[in-house]
Amino acid sequence: MPITQLNVQAIRNLSELSLTPSSSINIIYGANGSGKSSLLEAIHLLGLCRSFRTNKLNHLIQSGGERCTVFAQLDAMGSGISQPLGVERDLAGESRIRFAGKNIDLTTLAELLPIQVINSETFMILEGSPGVRRQFLDWGAFHSNPEFIRLWRGFRRVLKQRNSLLKYGKIDQRLRAVWDSEFIKYAEQLNTLREVYIEALKPEFDLILADLLEGVSIELGFSPGWDKKRGLDQVLEENFERDLRQGYTGAGPQRADLRLKVDGHIASERLSRGQKKVVVSALKLAQGVLFYKLNSRSCIYLIDDLPSELDRQHSRLFCNYLEKTASQCFITCVDKESLTGLWSESTETCFFNIQEGALSTQ
Ligand SMILES: Nc1ncnc2c1ncn2[C@@H]1O[C@H](COP(=O)(O)OP(=O)(O)OP(=O)(O)O)[C@@H](O)[C@H]1O
Ligand SMILES: [Mg+2]
Protein backbone atom coordinates (compact mmCIF):
# COMPACT_ATOMS: atom_id res chain seq x y z
CA MET A 1 0.00 0.00 0.00
CA PRO A 2 2.73 2.44 -0.83
CA ILE A 3 2.47 6.11 -1.75
CA THR A 4 3.14 6.28 -5.47
CA GLN A 5 3.06 10.06 -5.81
CA LEU A 6 3.30 12.82 -3.22
CA ASN A 7 2.62 16.55 -3.46
CA VAL A 8 3.22 18.92 -0.55
CA GLN A 9 2.14 22.54 -0.46
CA ALA A 10 2.98 25.20 2.12
CA ILE A 11 4.23 22.96 4.92
CA ARG A 12 6.95 24.83 6.85
CA ASN A 13 9.68 25.66 4.32
CA LEU A 14 8.26 23.31 1.66
CA SER A 15 6.37 25.70 -0.61
CA GLU A 16 5.66 23.24 -3.37
CA LEU A 17 7.27 19.83 -3.53
CA SER A 18 6.50 16.79 -5.67
CA LEU A 19 8.04 13.39 -5.17
CA THR A 20 7.70 10.04 -6.91
CA PRO A 21 8.87 7.67 -4.19
CA SER A 22 10.06 4.12 -4.40
CA SER A 23 7.75 1.53 -2.86
CA SER A 24 10.56 0.47 -0.56
CA ILE A 25 13.42 2.70 0.63
CA ASN A 26 13.41 6.48 0.19
CA ILE A 27 16.31 8.43 1.62
CA ILE A 28 15.92 12.17 2.02
CA TYR A 29 19.18 13.91 2.73
CA GLY A 30 20.21 17.52 3.09
CA ALA A 31 21.72 20.13 5.37
CA ASN A 32 20.25 21.19 8.71
CA GLY A 33 17.11 23.24 8.16
CA SER A 34 16.67 22.11 4.54
CA GLY A 35 13.21 20.59 5.15
CA LYS A 36 13.79 16.85 5.72
CA SER A 37 11.73 16.53 8.91
CA SER A 38 9.09 18.79 7.35
CA LEU A 39 8.69 16.31 4.52
CA LEU A 40 8.15 13.46 7.01
CA GLU A 41 5.75 15.70 8.91
CA ALA A 42 3.81 16.23 5.68
CA ILE A 43 3.44 12.45 5.19
CA HIS A 44 2.39 12.14 8.84
CA LEU A 45 -0.27 14.80 8.26
CA LEU A 46 -1.47 12.82 5.27
CA GLY A 47 -1.87 9.66 7.36
CA LEU A 48 -3.12 11.03 10.66
CA CYS A 49 -4.12 14.65 10.08
CA ARG A 50 -1.71 15.71 12.82
CA SER A 51 1.96 16.45 13.31
CA PHE A 52 4.55 14.44 15.25
CA ARG A 53 6.29 17.66 16.26
CA THR A 54 3.57 19.98 17.49
CA ASN A 55 0.02 19.94 18.81
CA LYS A 56 -0.57 23.32 17.19
CA LEU A 57 -1.00 22.50 13.54
CA ASN A 58 -0.90 26.18 12.59
CA HIS A 59 2.88 26.06 13.10
CA LEU A 60 2.99 23.68 10.17
CA ILE A 61 1.41 26.11 7.76
CA GLN A 62 4.04 28.08 5.92
CA SER A 63 4.50 31.58 7.33
CA GLY A 64 2.30 34.00 5.43
CA GLY A 65 0.09 31.19 4.07
CA GLU A 66 -3.52 30.38 4.91
CA ARG A 67 -3.51 26.61 4.46
CA CYS A 68 -1.32 23.61 3.84
CA THR A 69 -2.08 20.61 1.66
CA VAL A 70 -0.67 17.14 1.18
CA PHE A 71 -1.91 15.12 -1.70
CA ALA A 72 -0.95 11.59 -2.67
CA GLN A 73 -1.77 8.73 -4.93
CA LEU A 74 -1.78 5.52 -2.96
CA ASP A 75 -2.66 1.92 -3.19
CA ALA A 76 -4.56 2.22 0.06
CA MET A 77 -5.87 -1.20 0.99
CA GLY A 78 -3.43 -3.15 -1.12
CA SER A 79 -5.92 -3.43 -3.98
CA GLY A 80 -3.28 -2.62 -6.59
CA ILE A 81 -5.24 0.42 -7.79
CA SER A 82 -3.92 3.88 -6.96
CA GLN A 83 -6.46 6.25 -5.48
CA PRO A 84 -6.09 9.90 -4.47
CA LEU A 85 -5.87 10.94 -0.83
CA GLY A 86 -5.69 14.60 0.16
CA VAL A 87 -5.47 16.36 3.51
CA GLU A 88 -5.87 20.11 3.82
CA ARG A 89 -5.64 22.22 6.93
CA ASP A 90 -6.28 25.97 7.21
CA LEU A 91 -5.35 28.62 9.79
CA ALA A 92 -8.90 28.61 11.18
CA GLY A 93 -8.31 25.00 12.26
CA GLU A 94 -10.55 23.40 9.63
CA SER A 95 -9.32 20.12 8.16
CA ARG A 96 -10.56 18.42 5.06
CA ILE A 97 -9.71 14.80 4.29
CA ARG A 98 -10.70 13.38 0.91
CA PHE A 99 -10.13 9.85 -0.28
CA ALA A 100 -11.17 8.58 -3.70
CA GLY A 101 -13.45 11.59 -4.16
CA LYS A 102 -15.20 11.36 -0.77
CA ASN A 103 -14.76 13.12 2.57
CA ILE A 104 -13.56 10.67 5.22
CA ASP A 105 -13.16 10.88 8.99
CA LEU A 106 -10.02 10.47 11.10
CA THR A 107 -10.62 6.83 12.01
CA THR A 108 -11.03 5.84 8.38
CA LEU A 109 -7.88 7.78 7.54
CA ALA A 110 -5.86 6.04 10.27
CA GLU A 111 -7.02 2.66 8.94
CA LEU A 112 -6.14 3.60 5.36
CA LEU A 113 -2.60 4.75 5.92
CA PRO A 114 -0.99 3.17 8.99
CA ILE A 115 2.11 5.13 9.87
CA GLN A 116 5.01 4.38 12.20
CA VAL A 117 7.38 7.15 13.24
CA ILE A 118 10.88 6.63 14.59
CA ASN A 119 12.50 9.89 15.65
CA SER A 120 14.08 11.45 18.73
CA GLU A 121 10.66 11.51 20.41
CA THR A 122 10.44 7.72 20.14
CA PHE A 123 12.87 7.52 23.07
CA MET A 124 9.90 8.62 25.17
CA ILE A 125 8.58 5.05 24.98
CA LEU A 126 11.38 4.26 27.42
CA GLU A 127 11.88 7.56 29.15
CA GLY A 128 8.47 9.22 29.08
CA SER A 129 5.20 8.92 30.97
CA PRO A 130 2.87 5.87 30.81
CA GLY A 131 0.67 7.85 28.40
CA VAL A 132 3.34 7.54 25.70
CA ARG A 133 3.50 3.76 26.17
CA ARG A 134 -0.31 3.50 26.13
CA GLN A 135 -0.33 5.38 22.84
CA PHE A 136 2.20 2.90 21.46
CA LEU A 137 0.16 -0.04 22.71
CA ASP A 138 -3.14 1.36 21.45
CA TRP A 139 -1.74 1.97 17.97
CA GLY A 140 -1.29 -1.79 17.77
CA ALA A 141 -4.56 -2.73 19.45
CA PHE A 142 -6.43 -0.34 17.13
CA HIS A 143 -4.90 -1.87 14.02
CA SER A 144 -5.30 -5.45 15.20
CA ASN A 145 -8.95 -5.45 16.18
CA PRO A 146 -11.80 -3.46 14.61
CA GLU A 147 -13.66 -3.53 17.94
CA PHE A 148 -10.92 -1.57 19.68
CA ILE A 149 -11.97 1.93 18.68
CA ARG A 150 -15.58 1.39 19.82
CA LEU A 151 -14.45 0.06 23.19
CA TRP A 152 -11.85 2.80 23.62
CA ARG A 153 -14.40 5.53 22.88
CA GLY A 154 -16.99 3.89 25.12
CA PHE A 155 -14.50 3.63 27.94
CA ARG A 156 -13.38 7.28 27.60
CA ARG A 157 -17.03 8.38 27.75
CA VAL A 158 -17.75 6.35 30.89
CA LEU A 159 -14.52 7.45 32.58
CA LYS A 160 -15.32 11.11 31.89
CA GLN A 161 -18.81 10.67 33.32
CA ARG A 162 -17.56 8.83 36.42
CA ASN A 163 -14.90 11.48 37.02
CA SER A 164 -17.38 14.33 36.73
CA LEU A 165 -19.63 12.57 39.30
CA LEU A 166 -16.61 12.20 41.62
CA LYS A 167 -15.79 15.89 41.22
CA TYR A 168 -19.38 16.85 41.96
CA GLY A 169 -19.01 14.95 45.21
CA LYS A 170 -22.58 13.98 46.10
CA ILE A 171 -23.13 10.70 44.35
CA ASP A 172 -26.40 8.90 44.26
CA GLN A 173 -25.54 5.25 45.08
CA ARG A 174 -27.80 3.85 42.37
CA LEU A 175 -26.25 6.12 39.77
CA ARG A 176 -22.79 5.13 40.95
CA ALA A 177 -23.63 1.44 40.60
CA VAL A 178 -24.80 2.01 37.01
CA TRP A 179 -21.63 3.90 36.01
CA ASP A 180 -19.36 1.46 37.82
CA SER A 181 -20.86 -1.49 36.01
CA GLU A 182 -20.46 0.30 32.65
CA PHE A 183 -16.88 1.21 33.62
CA ILE A 184 -16.07 -2.41 34.46
CA LYS A 185 -17.67 -3.73 31.28
CA TYR A 186 -15.63 -1.46 28.99
CA ALA A 187 -12.45 -1.66 31.10
CA GLU A 188 -12.30 -5.44 30.98
CA GLN A 189 -12.96 -5.70 27.26
CA LEU A 190 -10.45 -2.98 26.47
CA ASN A 191 -7.90 -4.63 28.69
CA THR A 192 -8.39 -8.00 27.01
CA LEU A 193 -7.63 -6.48 23.59
CA ARG A 194 -4.49 -4.84 24.99
CA GLU A 195 -3.34 -8.10 26.62
CA VAL A 196 -3.95 -10.10 23.45
CA TYR A 197 -2.00 -7.53 21.46
CA ILE A 198 0.97 -7.41 23.78
CA GLU A 199 1.18 -11.22 23.90
CA ALA A 200 1.30 -11.28 20.10
CA LEU A 201 3.87 -8.46 20.00
CA LYS A 202 6.30 -10.00 22.48
CA PRO A 203 7.71 -12.81 20.29
CA GLU A 204 8.11 -10.44 17.33
CA PHE A 205 9.94 -7.96 19.53
CA ASP A 206 12.19 -10.66 21.02
CA LEU A 207 13.19 -11.94 17.57
CA ILE A 208 13.97 -8.49 16.20
CA LEU A 209 15.87 -7.41 19.28
CA ALA A 210 17.97 -10.58 19.23
CA ASP A 211 19.02 -9.64 15.66
CA LEU A 212 19.60 -5.96 16.31
CA LEU A 213 21.12 -5.95 19.77
CA GLU A 214 23.14 -9.00 20.58
CA GLY A 215 23.53 -9.91 24.23
CA VAL A 216 20.82 -7.63 25.61
CA SER A 217 17.51 -9.17 26.48
CA ILE A 218 14.54 -7.04 27.41
CA GLU A 219 11.56 -8.21 29.40
CA LEU A 220 8.40 -6.63 28.08
CA GLY A 221 5.67 -6.62 30.70
CA PHE A 222 2.16 -5.22 30.73
CA SER A 223 0.38 -3.72 33.68
CA PRO A 224 -3.36 -3.27 33.14
CA GLY A 225 -3.79 -0.28 35.47
CA TRP A 226 -5.25 -2.07 38.44
CA ASP A 227 -4.42 -5.01 40.68
CA LYS A 228 -5.68 -7.99 38.69
CA LYS A 229 -5.59 -10.25 41.73
CA ARG A 230 -8.61 -8.37 42.97
CA GLY A 231 -11.54 -7.88 40.60
CA LEU A 232 -12.06 -4.38 39.21
CA ASP A 233 -15.37 -4.17 41.11
CA GLN A 234 -13.52 -4.75 44.37
CA VAL A 235 -10.80 -2.25 43.43
CA LEU A 236 -13.38 0.45 42.61
CA GLU A 237 -15.19 -0.24 45.86
CA GLU A 238 -12.03 -0.11 47.99
CA ASN A 239 -10.71 3.00 46.23
CA PHE A 240 -14.00 4.85 46.28
CA GLU A 241 -13.33 7.21 49.21
CA ARG A 242 -9.92 8.10 47.79
CA ASP A 243 -11.35 8.62 44.29
CA LEU A 244 -13.96 10.91 45.81
CA ARG A 245 -11.34 12.96 47.66
CA GLN A 246 -9.19 13.23 44.52
CA GLY A 247 -12.10 13.84 42.18
CA TYR A 248 -11.03 11.24 39.63
CA THR A 249 -10.81 7.47 39.12
CA GLY A 250 -7.40 6.23 40.24
CA ALA A 251 -7.42 2.68 38.86
CA GLY A 252 -8.38 1.24 35.49
CA PRO A 253 -7.17 0.97 31.88
CA GLN A 254 -6.50 4.74 31.90
CA ARG A 255 -3.48 3.79 34.05
CA ALA A 256 -2.23 0.86 31.95
CA ASP A 257 1.48 0.78 31.27
CA LEU A 258 4.26 -1.25 29.67
CA ARG A 259 7.30 -2.25 31.71
CA LEU A 260 10.60 -2.70 29.94
CA LYS A 261 13.33 -4.27 32.03
CA VAL A 262 16.93 -5.41 31.48
CA ASP A 263 18.15 -8.00 33.99
CA GLY A 264 15.42 -6.87 36.37
CA HIS A 265 16.34 -3.16 36.06
CA ILE A 266 14.22 -0.46 34.42
CA ALA A 267 15.53 -0.33 30.85
CA SER A 268 15.72 3.48 30.67
CA GLU A 269 18.08 3.48 33.66
CA ARG A 270 20.38 0.85 32.22
CA LEU A 271 20.74 1.23 28.47
CA SER A 272 23.08 3.52 26.58
CA ARG A 273 21.61 6.11 24.22
CA GLY A 274 22.35 3.97 21.15
CA GLN A 275 20.95 0.84 22.82
CA LYS A 276 17.79 2.77 23.67
CA LYS A 277 17.41 3.78 20.05
CA VAL A 278 17.73 0.14 18.98
CA VAL A 279 15.19 -1.00 21.57
CA VAL A 280 12.53 1.57 20.68
CA SER A 281 13.14 0.94 16.99
CA ALA A 282 12.75 -2.81 17.60
CA LEU A 283 9.41 -2.14 19.28
CA LYS A 284 8.25 -0.11 16.27
CA LEU A 285 9.56 -2.68 13.81
CA ALA A 286 7.80 -5.44 15.75
CA GLN A 287 4.54 -3.49 15.45
CA GLY A 288 5.07 -3.28 11.70
CA VAL A 289 5.78 -7.01 11.37
CA LEU A 290 2.72 -7.89 13.45
CA PHE A 291 0.59 -5.40 11.51
CA TYR A 292 1.64 -7.16 8.31
CA LYS A 293 0.83 -10.61 9.72
CA LEU A 294 -2.61 -9.50 10.87
CA ASN A 295 -3.63 -7.33 7.93
CA SER A 296 -1.59 -8.65 4.96
CA ARG A 297 -0.38 -5.14 4.16
CA SER A 298 2.49 -3.01 5.39
CA CYS A 299 2.63 0.23 7.28
CA ILE A 300 4.73 3.19 6.23
CA TYR A 301 7.84 4.05 8.24
CA LEU A 302 8.94 7.63 8.75
CA ILE A 303 12.43 7.56 10.24
CA ASP A 304 13.92 10.90 11.10
CA ASP A 305 17.71 10.91 11.21
CA LEU A 306 18.28 7.15 11.18
CA PRO A 307 22.08 7.31 11.64
CA SER A 308 22.00 9.50 14.76
CA GLU A 309 23.08 7.59 17.89
CA LEU A 310 23.91 4.45 15.86
CA ASP A 311 27.31 3.16 14.82
CA ARG A 312 27.77 1.79 11.31
CA GLN A 313 27.16 -1.80 12.38
CA HIS A 314 23.86 -0.99 14.11
CA SER A 315 22.78 1.23 11.21
CA ARG A 316 23.43 -1.70 8.88
CA LEU A 317 21.43 -4.12 11.01
CA PHE A 318 18.57 -1.62 11.26
CA CYS A 319 18.59 -1.08 7.48
CA ASN A 320 18.60 -4.86 6.86
CA TYR A 321 15.55 -5.14 9.01
CA LEU A 322 13.74 -2.34 7.22
CA GLU A 323 14.38 -4.18 3.95
CA LYS A 324 12.96 -7.37 5.47
CA THR A 325 9.71 -5.70 6.54
CA ALA A 326 9.06 -4.82 2.88
CA SER A 327 7.49 -1.57 4.03
CA GLN A 328 7.71 1.74 2.29
CA CYS A 329 10.21 3.80 4.28
CA PHE A 330 11.00 7.50 4.22
CA ILE A 331 14.31 7.97 5.98
CA THR A 332 16.18 11.20 6.58
CA CYS A 333 19.87 11.88 7.18
CA VAL A 334 22.21 14.81 6.79
CA ASP A 335 24.98 13.09 4.81
CA LYS A 336 24.07 10.81 1.94
CA GLU A 337 27.16 8.67 2.71
CA SER A 338 25.82 7.71 6.14
CA LEU A 339 23.06 5.65 4.46
CA THR A 340 24.92 4.57 1.35
CA GLY A 341 26.21 1.03 0.98
CA LEU A 342 23.90 -0.40 3.62
CA TRP A 343 21.25 -1.84 1.32
CA SER A 344 21.12 -5.02 -0.69
CA GLU A 345 21.23 -4.66 -4.47
CA SER A 346 17.74 -6.02 -4.95
CA THR A 347 16.16 -3.30 -2.80
CA GLU A 348 14.76 -0.36 -4.72
CA THR A 349 16.46 2.58 -3.04
CA CYS A 350 15.82 6.19 -4.05
CA PHE A 351 17.86 9.14 -2.81
CA PHE A 352 16.35 12.63 -2.73
CA ASN A 353 18.37 15.70 -1.91
CA ILE A 354 16.51 18.59 -0.32
CA GLN A 355 17.98 22.07 -0.44
CA GLU A 356 16.15 25.02 1.08
CA GLY A 357 12.76 23.38 0.88
CA ALA A 358 13.06 22.11 -2.69
CA LEU A 359 14.25 18.88 -4.29
CA SER A 360 17.58 19.28 -5.95
CA THR A 361 17.66 17.85 -9.46
CA GLN A 362 21.45 17.49 -9.68
N1 LIG B 1 5.76 27.65 9.53
C2 LIG B 1 6.93 27.75 8.90
N3 LIG B 1 7.03 28.48 7.77
C4 LIG B 1 8.20 28.57 7.09
N5 LIG B 1 9.33 27.93 7.47
C6 LIG B 1 9.29 27.21 8.59
C7 LIG B 1 8.10 27.07 9.36
N8 LIG B 1 8.36 26.27 10.44
C9 LIG B 1 9.65 25.94 10.33
N10 LIG B 1 10.22 26.49 9.24
C11 LIG B 1 11.61 26.35 8.74
O12 LIG B 1 11.66 25.19 7.93
C13 LIG B 1 13.00 24.75 7.81
C14 LIG B 1 13.07 23.25 7.72
O15 LIG B 1 12.96 22.64 8.99
P16 LIG B 1 13.16 21.07 9.19
O17 LIG B 1 12.97 20.83 10.62
O18 LIG B 1 12.31 20.35 8.21
O19 LIG B 1 14.68 20.90 8.77
P20 LIG B 1 15.55 19.59 8.70
O21 LIG B 1 16.02 19.44 7.29
O22 LIG B 1 14.83 18.45 9.30
O23 LIG B 1 16.80 20.01 9.62
P24 LIG B 1 17.68 19.17 10.69
O25 LIG B 1 18.74 18.46 9.91
O26 LIG B 1 18.27 20.26 11.52
O27 LIG B 1 16.79 18.28 11.45
C28 LIG B 1 13.75 25.41 8.96
O29 LIG B 1 14.62 26.37 8.44
C30 LIG B 1 12.66 26.06 9.78
O31 LIG B 1 13.09 27.23 10.39
MG1 LIG C 1 15.12 17.39 11.06
Atom of ligand 1 nearest to the CA of 62: 3
Predicted confidence at residue 76, as pLDDT, reads 64
**Are residues 99 and 137 located together in one domain of the fold?**
no
pLDDT tens-place string over residues 154-166: 999 999 999 999 9
* Residue whose C-alpha is closest to residue 152's, from 125, 134, 133, 177: 134
* Nearest ligand, CA 333: 1
**Are residues 62 and 29 located together in one domain of the fold?**
yes
**Are residues 76 and 170 located together in one domain of the fold?**
no
Does 171 have pLDDT greater than 90? no
**Are residues 107 and 176 located together in one domain of the fold?**
no
pLDDT band at 49 (very low <50, low <70, confident <90, very high): very high
Q: Which long-range contacts (CB under 8 A, 24 or more apart) does 266-270 make?
A: 267/126, 267/218, 268/126, 268/127
Overall average pLDDT of the 339-352 stretch: 94
pLDDT tens-place string over residues 72-93: 999 766 667 889 999 999 999 9
pLDDT tens-place string over residues 109-134: 999 999 999 999 999 999 999 999 99
User: How many C-beta neighbours within 10 Å does residue 234 have?
Assistant: 12
Identify whether 290 is part of a domain. no
- β-pair partners for 227: none
The phi, psi pair for 149, rounded to 5°, reads: -65, -35
Identify whether 319 is part of a domain. yes
Overall average pLDDT of the 188-212 stretch: 97
Cβ-proximal residues to 266 (8 Å cutoff; 6+ apart), any chain: 259, 260
Which region among 116-120, 214-218, 273-277 has the lowest average model confidence (pLDDT)?
214-218
Identify whether 210 is part of a domain. yes
> Which among 8, 17, 37 is the best mutation to test ligand 1's pocket, defined by most ligand atoms within 8 Å of the CB?
37
Between 46 and 1, where is the model more confident?
A: 46
Q: How far is the CA of 14 from the centre of ligand 2 (A)?
A: 13
pLDDT tens-place string over residues 254-273: 999 999 999 999 999 999 99
Identify whether 125 is part of a domain. no
CATH code, domain carrying 245: 1.20.1050.90
Predicted confidence at residue 325, as pLDDT, reads 85
- Which residue, by CA, sits nearest to atom 10 of ligand 1? 12
Task: Write down the mean pLDDT value for the chain.
Answer: 94
Predicted confidence at residue 216, as pLDDT, reads 92
Overall average pLDDT of the 237-243 stretch: 95
* Residue 253, CA atoms < 13 Å, CB-side half-sphere: 25
Predicted confidence at residue 362, as pLDDT, reads 61
Residues with a CB atom less than 6 Å from ligand 1: 12-13, 30, 32-38, 59, 62-63, 334
Atom of ligand 1 nearest to the CA of 31: 25
Q: Is 30 annotated as a binding residue?
A: yes
Q: How far is the CA of 343 from the centre of ligand 1 (A)?
A: 28
Predicted confidence at residue 308, as pLDDT, reads 94
E strands, the chain, are 3-11, 14-19, 25-29, 67-74, 83-90, 95-99, 102-103, 115-118, 218-223, 257-262, 265-266, 300-303, 328-333, 349-355, 358-359
Measured CA to CA, the distance from residue 190 to residue 203 in angstroms comes to: 22
Percent of the chain surpassing pLDDT 90? 91
Predicted confidence at residue 77, as pLDDT, reads 62
Predicted confidence at residue 220, as pLDDT, reads 97
Identify whether 245 is part of a domain. yes
**Are residues 254 and 134 located together in one domain of the fold?**
yes
- Which residue, by CA, sits nearest to atom 13 of ligand 1? 33
Identify whether 186 is part of a domain. yes
**Are residues 108 and 146 located together in one domain of the fold?**
no
Identify whether 12 is part of a domain. yes
Identify the domain boundary among 209, 240, 259.
259
**Are residues 85 and 11 located together in one domain of the fold?**
yes
pLDDT band at 136 (very low <50, low <70, confident <90, very high): very high
Overall average pLDDT of the 99-107 stretch: 95
pLDDT band at 326 (very low <50, low <70, confident <90, very high): confident
- β-pair partners for 25: 329, 349
Measured CA to CA, the distance from residue 290 to residue 204 in angstroms comes to: 7
Range of the domain at 309: 3-114+301-359
CATH code, domain carrying 307: 3.40.50.300
Identify whether 66 is part of a domain. yes
Q: Is 336 annotated as a binding residue?
A: no
| Domains of the chain: total | 2
